[in-house]
Structure 1
Amino acid sequence: MLPQEYRLKRKFLDIPALEQTLDMYLKGMEHLATPEQFRKTREIVEKFRAPGGQGELLQKKLLERRDKTDNWVYDYWLEDMYLNNRLALPVNSSPVMVFPKQTFRDRSDSLRFAARLISEVLEYKAQLDGRTLPVDYARGQLAGTPLCMEQYYRLFTSYRLPGLKKDTLVAQKSSVMPEPEHIIVACKNQFFMLDVLINFRRLNESDLLAQLEKIAKMAENLDEHLPSIGLLTSDGRTEWAEARALLIKDSTNRDSLDMIERCICLVCLDDASGVELTDTNRALQMLHGGGRESNGGNRWYDKPMQFVVGVDGVCGVVCEHSPFEGIVLVQCTEFLLKRMIGSPSKLVRAASVTELPAPRRLHWKCSPEIQTLLMSSAEKLQRLVGNLDMDVFKFKTYGKDFIKSQKMSPDAFIQVALQFAFYRCHGRLASTYESASIRRFREGRVDNIRSATAEALAFVKSMTDGKISDAEKMKKLWEAVDAQTNYTILAITGQAIDNHLLGLRELARELKLEKPDIFVDETYRISNRFILSTSQVPTTVDMFCCYGPVVPNGYGACYNPQADHVIFCVSSFRESTETCSAMFVNALEESLVEMRDLCCKWNAAVKPAEQKKSAVGPVKRK
Structure 2
Amino acid sequence: MAEAHQAVAFQFTITPEGIDLRLSYQALSQIYLSGLRSWKKRISRMRNRVIKGVYPASPSSWLFVVIAILATMYMRSDPSMGLIAKIQEHLPTMLSVLVFSTLLWLSLILTLRFCLKLLLSYHRWMFEQHGFIDVLSLPLSPPSQTLVRLLSGRKPLLYSYQTSLPCLPVPPIKDTLERYLESVRPLLSGPGFQRMTVLAAQFENSLGNRLQRYLKLKALWATNYVSDWWEEYIYLRGRGPIMVNSNYYGMDFLYVTPTPIQAARAGNTITALLLYRRVRLPYTVCIGLLLLRVPGTVIPLCAAQCERMFNTTRTPGEETDVLQHWQDSEFVTVYHRGRYFRLWVYKAGRLLSPREIEYQIQRILDDPSPPGPGEDRLGALTAGDRVPWCAVRKQYFSSGVNKRSLDCIERAAFFVTLDDEEQGMMGEDPVGNLDRYAKSLLHGKCYDRWFDKSFSVVVYKNGKNGLNAEHSWADAPTVAHLWEFTLATDAFQLGYTEDGHCKGEVERSLPPPQRLTWDIPVEVQEQVSISLSVAQALADDVDCHVFPFRDFGKGRIKKLKISPDAFIQLALQLAYYRDRKTFCLTYEASMTRLFREGRTETVRSCSNEGCAFVKAVESGEHCRRLFRLAAEKHQNLYRLAMTGSGIDRHLFCLYVVSKYLGVESPFLTEVLSEPWRLSTSQTPVQQLELFDMKNHPDFISLGGGFGPVADDGYGVSYIIVGEDMINYHVSCKHSFSETDSHRFGAQISRALLDLLSVLTPAKTENSQAQDKKQQ
Alignment of 1:125-204 (within 5 A): 125-127=277-279, 130=282, 134=286, 136-139=290-293, 144-172=298-326, 174=327, 181-204=330-353
Deviation readout 1:242-275 (Å, 9 max, x if unpaired):
3323332552111111111111001111102489
User: Is the Cα contact below 8 Å between 1:76 and 1:502 reproduced in 2?
Assistant: no
Q: Do structure 1's residue 347 and structure 2's residue 503 form an aligned pair?
A: yes
User: Is the Cα contact below 8 Å between 2:353 and 2:505 reproduced in 1?
Assistant: no
Aligned to 1:87: 240
Q: Do structure 1's residue 572 and structure 2's residue 732 form an aligned pair?
A: yes
User: Is the Cα contact below 8 Å between 2:199 and 2:667 reproduced in 1?
Assistant: yes
Alignment of 1:438-453 (within 5 A): 438-453=592-607
Alignment of 1:40-439 (within 5 A): 40-50=195-205, 53-100=206-253, 103=257, 109-127=261-279, 130=282, 134=286, 136-139=290-293, 144-172=298-326, 174=327, 181-218=330-367, 220-223=368-371, 226-227=374-375, 228-273=377-422, 278-289=433-444, 291=445, 296-345=446-495, 347-350=503-506, 353-439=507-593
Aligned to 2:744: 584
Query: How far apart in 2 are the matches of 1:213 and 1:357?
Result: 13
User: Is the Cα contact below 8 Å between 1:190 and 1:298 reproduced in 2?
Assistant: no
Cα deviation for residue 356 of structure 1 reads 2.2
User: Is the Cα contact below 8 Å between 1:474 and 1:602 reproduced in 2?
Assistant: no
Change (3 A) 1:30 1:104: closer
Cα deviation for residue 88 of structure 1 reads 1.5
Alignment of 1:454-533 (within 5 A): 454-466=608-620, 469-470=621-622, 473-510=623-660, 512-521=661-670, 523-526=671-674, 529-533=675-679
User: Is the Cα contact below 8 Å between 2:248 and 2:704 reproduced in 1?
Assistant: yes
Deviation readout 1:578-610 (Å, 9 max, x if unpaired):
211112112112211111111114586999xxx
- Determine helix, strand or coil for the equivalent of 2:183: helix
Change (3 A) 1:603 1:88: farther
Cα deviation for residue 500 of structure 1 reads 0.7
Cα deviation for residue 80 of structure 1 reads 2.8
- Paired residue type of 2:477: I
User: Is the Cα contact below 8 Å between 2:571 and 2:751 reproduced in 1?
Assistant: yes
Query: How far apart in 2 are the matches of 1:508 and 1:142?
Result: 45
Q: Do structure 1's residue 546 and structure 2's residue 701 form an aligned pair?
A: no
Aligned to 1:30: 185
Which structure has the bigger radius of gyration? Answer: 2
Alpha-carbon RMSD across the aligned residues, in angstroms, is 2.5
Q: Normalising by structure 2, report the TM-score.
A: 0.71
- Paired residue type of 2:276: Y
Unmatched segments (≥5 aa) in structure 2: 1-48, 57-160, 496-501, 689-699, 768-775
Cα deviation for residue 416 of structure 1 reads 0.8
Query: How far apart in 2 are the matches of 1:17 and 1:55?
Result: 11
Identity level (%)? 29
Cα deviation for residue 210 of structure 1 reads 2.4
Query: How far apart in 2 are the matches of 1:515 and 1:498?
Result: 18
- Determine helix, strand or coil for the equivalent of 1:138: strand
Cα deviation for residue 348 of structure 1 reads 2.8
Query: How far apart in 1 are the matches of 2:330 and 2:633?
Result: 50
Deviation readout 1:88-131 (Å, 9 max, x if unpaired):
2222211110112665886xx21111111111211111136756
- Paired residue type of 2:669: V
Aligned to 2:168: 13
Query: How far apart in 2 are the matches of 1:140 and 1:584?
Result: 35
Cα deviation for residue 197 of structure 1 reads 2.6
Cα deviation for residue 144 of structure 1 reads 4.1
Deviation readout 1:397-430 (Å, 9 max, x if unpaired):
2111111111111001100110111111111111
Change (3 A) 1:19 1:141: farther
Query: How far apart in 2 are the matches of 1:94 and 1:398?
Result: 30
Q: Which stretch shows the higher mean deviation, 78-87 or 445-454? A: 78-87
- Determine helix, strand or coil for the equivalent of 1:475: helix
Q: Which stretch shows the higher mean deviation, 319-328 or 379-388? A: 379-388
Change (3 A) 1:606 1:344: farther
Unmatched segments (≥5 aa) in structure 1: 608-622
Deviation readout 1:319-342 (Å, 9 max, x if unpaired):
111111111111111111212221
User: Is the Cα contact below 8 Å between 2:313 and 2:323 reproduced in 1?
Assistant: yes
Query: How far apart in 1 are the matches of 2:382 and 2:657?
Result: 32
Cα deviation for residue 438 of structure 1 reads 0.7
Query: How far apart in 2 are the matches of 1:532 and 1:483?
Result: 19
Q: Which stretch shows the higher mean deviation, 126-135 or 148-157? A: 126-135
Change (3 A) 1:132 1:400: closer
